[in-house]
Amino acid sequence: MSQRPHDPTPSGVQSPSANPLLGPLHALPRFDAILPEHVEPAISGLLAELERGLERLEAAVGPNWRGLVEPLERLVEPMRLAWGAVGHLMGVKNSPELRRAHEAVQPEVVRAFTRIGQSRPIYVAARALRDSPGWSSLGEAQRRIVDKLILDAELSGVGLDGAPKERFNEIQRELAELATRFGNHVLDATKAYALELRDPREVEGLPESLRQLAAKAARDAGSPDASAEHGPWRITLDATISGPFLQHSRRRDLREQVYRAWIARASTGELDNAPLIDRILALRDEKAKLLGFADYASLSLASKMARDAEEVSSLLEDLRRKALPAARRDHDELVAHARAQGAADVRHWDVAYWAERLRERRFAFTDEDLRPYFPLPKVLDGLFALAERLFDVRIVAADGETSVWHEDVRFFRILDADGSPRAAFYLDPYSRPAEKRGGAWMDDGLVRSRLFAAPGTGVRLPVAHLVCNGTPPVGERPSLMTFREVETLFHEFGHGLQHMLTTVDFESAAGINGVEWDAVELPSQFMENWCYHEPTLMGLSGHWQTGAPLPRELFDKLQAARTFRAGSDTLRQVYFASTDLALHHGYAPARDGSPFDVMRRVAERTTVLPPLPEDRFLCSFSHIFAGGYAAGYYSYKWAEVLSADAFGAFEDAGLDDPAAVRRTGRRFRDTVLALGGSRHPMDVFLEFRGRKPSTEALLRHSGLTSS
C-alpha cells in the first residue's frame, strides 16, 4: 500500500528530528530550524524514495481514482512540501549558502518531476479512467483533476520517445536553472547599487519617511550615526526607496542617476541577464516545437482560459486603443505643468516627479499626507474586519504558535463563524533587500486535502504565505504604508482567501490549484476595489499617533484621484503584456532582431514616451523570465475584467446596504473562493454573476469611458 501521511519517515530518508525539512505531511515546517546544510540530504533522500515509489505505482496503477490519483498525490507530497519550503526560503531568506544547496539538487528535482509527468503507465491509466464507465460516477472536481493530469502529461512530453524525449528533458532542466539564475541576478543587482548622499541640499524635497528609510539603509551599510536629519542617506534600488525618491527628489541629476540604474538592473558584467533571455526564449521555442506547437505562446495558452494568441492580442489591442489617447492627454498635461514650473523638458526620470507635483496641485494631497493614517496594525484590523463582514469568518493573531523565518513575520488563524478552524497564514510584510526578492506574492504552505489529514481529523487545513515588501518600521514609528502598499496587501490577501477559503478536499483542485492562470488574479484584484469603499477605508485608517480616522476631505481627494493617469497605467500594462506576447508568439531572432529590438517596436505602439535606447527592463522582468507569467502577463488585464465585473455585483446590490453586501459576499465566498479549480473559471463566474463577464466595469473604474 502507499504510505499514509502520518506513517514513519520512509526508509533511506533522514528522520524529522535530524532534518527539519522532513516531517508529517499535515504539519507546518520548522522554519527557524531549517539551514542550508539540511537541503541536500533531505532532498536527495526524498528523490530516492520518490523514484522507488514511482516504480511501484507504475507497476500497480489502476484506471480508477483510488488506484491512480490518490497514490500519485501521496507519492509526490513529501517532495512537494520539502522543495516548496526551500523555494519559499529562496525568496524570503536568500543567501549564498542556500543558493549553492538549491543549485546542487535542482537538476535532479526537475528530472524527477519530469519523469512523473512523462510516465506512460500513469498517462494510460488516466486516459482509460476518462474512457471508462466509472467516469460518470466521479464528481466534477475529480473529472477536472484527471483532465488536467492528462493535459499536463501531454505538455510534459509524455508522447515523446528517444532523442526528442532526451532533448525535452535537457531543456526542462536548463530552463529551471536559468530561471533561478535570472532571479538571483536581479536580487544581486538590486543590492549592488547605492547612491550615498551627504549634503542636505541633495535630499531637498524628500519626505521625512524617505529620509528615515535612507538613513536606516545607511546605518545597515556601516554608517552607525546616520540620521534622517543629518544623513548620510543611502538611496538604493529597493522599491520602497527608489520609487519615492523619483517622485520627490528636486535634484534632477540624481533622479537621472537612479532612473538609469533602475532600467539597467542585471544588464552588465557577471549579472547580465541578456544572454539568459536569449537562451530562455530559444529553449522555450524549441520545447514548444518538440510538443507540436507553433510557438511557446501556443503551448502556454493550451492550459489557460484564453483560446489562443489572437484572442489575447484582441484584448490587448482593444485596451491599447482606449488607453492610448488618455495616456497622451496625461502626458500633455504633465508636460504643460512642468513647463509652467520652469522645466525646459520632461525626460523619463522626470515623469514620476512631475506626475506627483501635478497630483498635488490637482487634488491637494500627497502620498505622505496619507501615510500617517495607514499604520500596518490598523490596516490589518480593517482588512480583517472586511473579510469577516463579507465572508463570515474570524481572523485571530496566533503569533508564537509556529516557527517563522524572520522576527517580523506574523502568524494568523482564520476561524469559521462558529469558532472552528478554517485556515492559517503567515504575513511577511516588510522589505529586506539583503535577502528577500522584490515584489509581493502569495504561495501555499499547505493545501487543503482530505488525503493528508492529521490522525483524528477529517481534513488538512490550508496555510498560505503572504509576502509583501512594504515600508518597514523605523525606530518607535510603526510601518506607515503608502496607499499603494495598502492596495498590494489587499491584493495578496485576495489570493490568500482563494487558497484558504476553498471547500474542495482534493489537493489538486483546492484553492488556486487547478485554476487557469489567466483567472487566478480575479480574487486578488477584486479585493483592491475595497480600498476605495468609504466604510472600509475609514475602518482601516487611523493616525498612528492620535488614532484619528482619515479625514473625509482626504478620502474625497483619494476617490477623485483614483483615475488620475489611469490611461498611462493601463497602457503600461499593455506594453508589458504585448512585449511578453511578442517574444513568445512567432518570434524569430534572425528576422526580428534581439528581444530588445522587439521591445522597442512594441513600445512604438504602446508608449507615449518611448524607452531610452539603453533601457534594459527585460533584464529584470522576473515575471516572465523567472516566474510563471511567460506568454501570460496579459493575465493581469484578463482577470481584471473578471474582478471589476465581480465587484460590480456588489455595486449593483448596493454598497450602502450592509445586508446586501453580506449576501453578495457570501455568494462570492461560496463560488469564486470556495470552488477553486474544481470547475472551469467561466462556470464559476457565471454561477456568481449570473452572466458572462463584461468589460464595462473595468473601463468605468479606470475612467476610460464617459459614463
Angle at the Cα of 289 from the Cα atoms of 284 and 293, rounded to 5 degrees: 100
CA distance 82 to 641: 36
* Residues 6+ away with beta carbon under 8 Å from 286: 167, 171
Give DSSP secondary structure letters for 112-163: HHHHHHT-HHHHHHHHHHHTSGGGGGS-HHHHHHHHHHHHHHHHTTTT--HH
Q: For the packed helices 120-130 and 39-60, what is the interaxial angle rounded to 10 degrees?
A: 50
Catalytic residue among 73, 492, 507, 528: 492
What are the CA-CA distances from residue 223 to residues 151, 193, 206, 490 (Å)?
56, 16, 20, 35
| 492 in catalytic set | yes
Angstrom distance (rounded) from CA 122 to CA 664 = 42
Sheet order of strands, 441-446 included: 393-397, 410-416, 421-430, 463-470, 441-446
CA dist 643 and 536 (Å) reads 18
* Residues with Cβ within 8 Å of residue 353, at least 6 apart in sequence: 246, 247, 248, 249, 252, 255
CB burial of 544-583 (b: ≥16 within 10 Å; e: otherwise) equals beeeebbeeebbebbeeeeebbbbbbbbbbbbbbbbbbbb
Q: Helix, strand, coil proportions of the chain in percent (round to 5)?
A: 60, 5, 35
Contact of 552 with 672, CB cutoff 8 Å: no
Q: Which residues contact 345 (CB under 8 A, 6 or more apart)?
A: none
Which residue matches cell numbers 459614463?
707
Burial class (CB in 10 A: 0-12, 13-18, 19+), 78: buried
Residue whose grid cell is 499547505: 446
State whether the Cα torsion 599-605-608-610 is positive or negative: positive
Supply 449's cell numbers.
486535502
Give the residue numbers annotated as catalytic, written as ranges: 492
